[in-house]
Amino acid sequence: MPVQTLSLALTMAALWLLLSGHTEWLILAFGAGSVALVVWLARRLEVLDQEGHPIHLTGRGILFFWSWLLWEIAKANIAVARLILSPKMPITPSVIEVEAHEKSELGQVIYANAITLTPGTVSMVVEGNRIVVHALSRDAAEDLLAGEMDRRIVALES
């Protein structure tokens, strides 16, 4: 049994139990049957692969990345609020290209989504190893060009 199959089964079972909250034997049996059916369908449809179910992105690395990303989102929220609430509105929109050093398409998608999740920046186009980004301010553009987010996602992939 591949690790993706086991991971999907355990995740589905835990999620089912968490959402249902029932512990009667009959209901648990129905839940186990539902999980087995979903896992069987996923294997039959061949949707369990390294990119579709990236088991390597679990554990301590993803926890540190998410905590760092949430902190960056909070800082960017404050920066955007200051820009908007300032009487002068010192917005300096720009379109920049950043280089993506990720090894896989999944890594590039994570990078582009992390850029978009951060207030003040939006990923517009992903082509090859380049991401075209609209930045609301010069500071947001410079932060992206510094490459910290890219380095953290590359480290997450390895």
Together in a domain, 66 and 36: no
Q: How far apart are CA 144 and CA 5, in angstroms?
A: 36
For the whole model, what pTM was predicted? 0.70
- Do residues 90 and 145 both lie within one domain? yes
User: Are 125 and 77 in the same domain?
Assistant: yes
Q: Residues 64-76: pLDDT tens digits?
A: 889 999 999 999 9
Domain co-membership, 65 together with 137: yes
Number of domains in the chain: 2
With cut-offs at 50, 70 and 90, classify the pLDDT of residue 55.
Answer: low
Whether residue 96 is contained in a domain is answered as yes
Contacts of 89 by beta carbon, 8 Å cutoff, 6+ apart: 83
**Is 35 in the same domain as 69?**
no
| DSSP E strands, 16-120 | 94-99
**114 pLDDT above the threshold of 90:** yes
Establish if 35 belongs to a structural domain.
Answer: yes
pLDDT of residue 143: 93
Provide the mean pLDDT of the chain. Answer: 89
Q: What is the pLDDT of residues 25-50, one digit of tens each?
A: 999 999 999 999 999 998 888 877 76
Q: Domain range spanning residue 88?
A: 61-157
Q: Are residues 74 and 134 in the same domain?
A: yes
Residues 31, 87 within the same domain: no
Shared-domain flag, residues 128 and 89? yes
